[in-house]
Structure 1
Amino acid sequence: MQFRYKVINEEMHVTSGVLEAVDLEAARRQAVENKWQIISLEKVSGLSSLLTMTFKNKVKYESIAAFCSQMAMMIRSGANLVRGLEILQSQMEDKRLQEVVGIIHRGVSRGDSLSVAMRECQGALPELLINLVTVGEESGNLDSVLVSMAEYYQRETFIRKKISSAAIYPVVLTVVMIGLVVLFLNFILPEITDLMKGNGQNLPAPTQMIIDSVDYLQRNGLYLILSITALVSLMVRIFKIPKYRYHLDAFLLHIPLLGKNMKDVVIARFARTLALFLHSSLPIVPILNSLENIVGNEVPRLAVVRAKDQIIRGETMALAFGGEPFFDPLVIQMMSIGEETGRMEELMVEVANHYDKRVEIGLGRLVALVEPIFTVIIGVFAGGLIIAIALPIFNMASGVSGGVK
């Protein structure tokens, strides 16, 4: 939650701003620990909340991986946790993570455990990380858990960067296309239009169509933008409803190549997270409860829910997940072997690595397919603009040569 404060600081100056805390009491404690005299402190809500939100509210996975790795080293070295967090905060380059570590440091300084202090940053840190830190503290394996989490978020970062790099080419071509349109409409087309009208000539049909389209957009552009914005907002709200989100996710999973890549990403994440929880020696039902919210897709989420119900009734994991079409036979086979041999954690890591490689290969194929498609689209579009420019010039040249004769 965000709280707007107005306080008198240590230098006896009145200052104001916004701080984050789990509730009003936690926000009040933060102010007291900073040696502030509170003038006013209230929860930010409504429009104010929207205005104070930033696009980088959550800490980047890359930064979380670095934080987990450094925390693990610090705990293994036997360093004082409060002093260690203070050092980490001063060394962090990510400003958002620096704020979060500051909140954790204040919590640990007043006697809270690391997991309790991290829960004050629930909006910024993943629930998975907080839950596993709690398990690590209870089992005495906190350093081991943090090492595993560092590896997990490094891998998630790698996959996300791969996906982002796959989108670079289409984005660049789209920007080029928009640049061509702006250049054509603002500089070239007006010159040609004025020249032809000055000569008393009619514009060719393709050029006239473009001019009419531009005129229509200029007259109705605001209404179109508002309508599209309203439609997009409505669609976003509709697809937040689980029933409709399920249909959207199911549709996306059936798109050739894209759907296969999405499925591979989900299975890799599912297997890696399952291995993490198994390493922490949690019972299987709480593990599956957490996995429901991590897969990031309604189709596998409901598959996990159904499998969990069967496991509660006494089925093995392999049989429970074997009845779900979403999960490939390879995953089910590895689950079965893992249950028989007691090597489930190790085999789930192998499954995750296998599907990570499939994601890399699949994204490479997707990029290889998208590049020529976008090249053709740009070519057709640019060709249309060239025709719209060339036809009037050709007509003028014909008119001039006809006049000379």
Structure 2
Amino acid sequence: MTKLLTDIRSDIETGTSLSSAFRKHPLYFDALYCNLVEAGEAAGILETLLERLATYQEKTLEIKRKIKSALIYPVAVLVVAFVVVAVIMIFVIPAFKEVFTSFGADLPAPTLFVMSMSEIFVSYWWLIFGVIIGGTYFFFESWKRSEKMQKTMDRLLLKLPVFGDLIFKSAVARWTRTLATMFAAGVPLVEALDSVGGASGNAVFAEATEQIQKDVSTGTALTTSMQATGIFPVMVLQMAAIGEESGALDHMLSKAAEFYEAEVDEAVKGLSSLLEPIIIVVLGTIIGGIVVSMYLPIFKLGQVV
């Protein structure tokens, strides 16, 4: 960070504009950031624009944090659950198997099934973990590198039960917040749309934004272009239409962003409340089923005795 600030300072001292200095460091300052700073420099309101940019960053980072917190919890629980089940299968079940073999009696079907699964884990645990870890790594690497796969996965994510609604509202909130911030800064609409699609965090919205930009550049109204994509909620379209007619597009888009940011907040709270009991029931069923299946022969033996 010190080197970054030193480089920017050196550029400014040699007469380079702040936005141009930022553009030399794309890893730290994206196109949206640089465009806003450039607009502030051109209009002589750089201080105001930097304040707006700070507010924008705070709101978008808050949305990202909420989405991550909502998604990380179930994933973390499932990973821990898998490790626990693997430990039971590899170390605990074989001990029971030795005891049951000494009985010399027929074992119940659930017990035989669990013991068969245990044998697979014991024999191929390295392959199971390797496939899971390697498959996960390969999947995310392919996701990052393949634009086609990004679009396919992002489209599927929007259709997921429960999670899809949260991801959709988050994308709408970020899209409207970004466009409102850019437009309020005086960035021309066509240029502003350059940064909006990527800021939404979803390839479906990015693709739709490209089409909107093409339509707007040929004279089509923003609302008409948005409606043609078929992905924006009616409320957002109505507010955008009012904003275009009244000349207060940035204000109306900000209102839409605030609404969907609140919706994301509520969705995260609701998701947490919904997932906790579901995860408890699922894990209880799996682990409880394993435990009961291993004690069935003991209960059966007790009845015989």
Q: Given the two structures, how large is their TM-score scaled by the length of structure 2?
A: 0.85
Structure 1 pair 225–192 and aligned structure 2 pair: CA distance change class (3 A): closer
1:347 aligns with 2:252: yes
- Residue of 297, 302, 307 corresponding to 2:212: 307
Which residue of the partner structure matches residue 293 of structure 2? 388
Aligned-pair CA distance for 1:341: 1.7
Answer 1 or 2: which has greater helix percent: 2
- Residue of 124, 130, 145 corresponding to 1:220: 124
Matches within 5 A, 1:220-299: 220-228=124-132, 229-230=134-135, 233=138, 236-237=141-142, 240-299=145-204
Distance 2:272 2:192 in 1: 35
Q: Percent identity?
A: 28
Distance 1:380 1:99 in 2: 54
Aligned-pair CA distance for 1:118: 2.5
Give the gaps of 5 or more residues in structure 2. none
Distance 1:398 1:190 in 2: 24
- Residue of 138, 145, 148 corresponding to 2:52: 148
Matches within 5 A, 1:156-235: 156-167=60-71, 169-171=73-75, 173-178=77-82, 180-185=84-89, 187-201=91-105, 203-228=107-132, 229-230=134-135, 233=138
Distance 2:58 2:140 in 1: 33
Q: What per-residue deviation string (whole Å, max 9, x for no partner) do you get for residues 274-301 of structure 1? A: 1111122121111112223322223222
Distance 2:236 2:212 in 1: 14
Which residue of the partner structure matches residue 221 of structure 2? 316
Alpha-carbon contact 1:192-1:389 (below 8 Å) kept: yes
Q: What per-residue deviation string (whole Å, max 9, x for no partner) do you get for residues 182-217 of structure 1? A: 553355323322333344455543333333323323
Distance 1:177 1:241 in 2: 31
Q: What per-residue deviation string (whole Å, max 9, x for no partner) do you get for residues 274-333 of structure 1? A: 111112212111111222332222322222222222222222212222322111222222
Which residue of the partner structure matches residue 32 of structure 2? 128
Of residues 265-274 and 190-199 in structure 1, the stretch that sits farther from structure 2 once superposed is 190-199
Of residues 267-276 and 241-250 in structure 1, the stretch that sits farther from structure 2 once superposed is 241-250
Which residue of the partner structure matches residue 74 of structure 1? none
Secondary structure (helix, strand or coil) at the match of 2:229 reads coil
Q: How many correspondences in the alignment? A: 304
Alpha-carbon contact 1:196-1:396 (below 8 Å) kept: no
- Flag the structure with larger Rg: 1
Answer 1 or 2: which has greater strand percent: 1
Distance 1:290 1:172 in 2: 33
Of residues 361-370 and 184-193 in structure 1, the stretch that sits farther from structure 2 once superposed is 184-193
1:329 aligns with 2:234: yes
Structure 1 pair 320–175 and aligned structure 2 pair: CA distance change class (3 A): closer
Structure 1 pair 251–215 and aligned structure 2 pair: CA distance change class (3 A): same
Distance 2:250 2:112 in 1: 66
Aligned-pair CA distance for 1:102: 4.5
Return the letter of the residue paired with 2:270.
R
Return the letter of the residue paired with 1:324.
T
Alpha-carbon contact 1:292-1:301 (below 8 Å) kept: yes
Alpha-carbon contact 1:252-1:259 (below 8 Å) kept: yes
Distance 2:239 2:262 in 1: 17
Structure 1 pair 192–396 and aligned structure 2 pair: CA distance change class (3 A): farther
Which residue of the partner structure matches residue 338 of structure 1? 243
Alpha-carbon contact 2:90-2:122 (below 8 Å) kept: no
